Amino acid sequence: MNEKEIIIRLKKIVEPYVQRMEGLKNFREETDFLNDLQINSANLVDVVLDVEDEFNIEIDNDSMEGMLTVGDAKNIIEKKLAN
Amino acid sequence: MDSTSIISQLPYSEPFLFVDHILEVDENSIIGEFTFLPEMEFYRGHFKNKSVTPGVILTECMAQIGVVCLGIYLLNTENKKENLSQVALTSSEIEYLKPIYPGETVRVVSEKQYFRFNKLKCKVVMYNAEGSMVCKGVIAGMMIKTQ
């Protein structure tokens, strides 16, 4: 799975939780979940659980805490898929 | 962890405490009870002519027993005696099936869907004294621990 594919799948997962649609139009690695997409911490948990299901990986507390942007999420997914 | 120590850790007091007893609790579920006393203040205005327990209060009772009490238990057992310092309701989707009148005792049964990254999401059902379903739905909250 290449980077582009991960980001496309990620966008699909994130979409139902986004409060700021403008942020979704400009979905890229720098996109910040909290500020650009206005996903709150409670909904970010659901994003992470959906990511676990979609990619069949497990995300631990430390990874979760470092997941602030789309790029962070992509890196974590890539790392977990490589293991 | 017993019922009294769970209730003593709740961040609520009268007139906004809606838990009397915890009957059963384990890492996946909880059962608790509450009696709506006829003198409770909101009955004066809900409704003007006939007292019925407001749906939001039923939801609050379900959340306090089903999510907050279970959350306290989970934090205390799973995570090395951490105490709950703050709690926030993050979502609720409830269907209301029967009214609850002043003086009725309800039983709340909650099943954990998940507890991950401080978010506890539960399937919660409320029953009346006859065992009929009063309301049911899904409630989630964030449990913020003391450092």
What is the per-residue pLDDT for B9? Answer: 92
Average pLDDT of every residue of chain B = 93
Q: What tokens were used for A14? A: 């994130």
How many domains does chain A contain in total?
Answer: 1
CA distance B38 to B116: 38
ipTM: 0.90
A58 touches chain B (CB under 8 A): no
Q: Which domain holds residue A26?
A: 3-82
- Residues B118, A45: C-beta atoms closer than 8 Å: yes
Residue in the block written with tokens 């700021």:
A20
What is the per-residue pLDDT for B86? Answer: 87
CATH at A52: 1.10.1200.10
The pLDDT of B114-128, averaged and rounded, is: 97
| A51 chain-B contacts, CB cut-off 8 A | none
A82 touches chain B (CB under 8 A): no
| Full-model pTM | 0.93
| Domains of chain B and any CATH numbers | 3-145 (3.10.129.10)
| B114 chain-A contacts, CB cut-off 8 A | 49
- Residues A45, B88: C-beta atoms closer than 8 Å: no
Higher-confidence residue of B113 and B3: namely: B113
Q: How confident is the model at residue B147 (pLDDT cuts 50, 70, 90)?
A: low
What is the per-residue pLDDT for B144? Answer: 80
CA distance B102 to A39: 40
**What's the pLDDT tens digit per position in A16-37?**
999 999 999 999 999 999 999 9
Contact at 8 Å (CB) between B134 and B96? yes
Residues of chain A with pLDDT under 50: none
Q: Residue B120: beta bridge partners? A: B115, B141
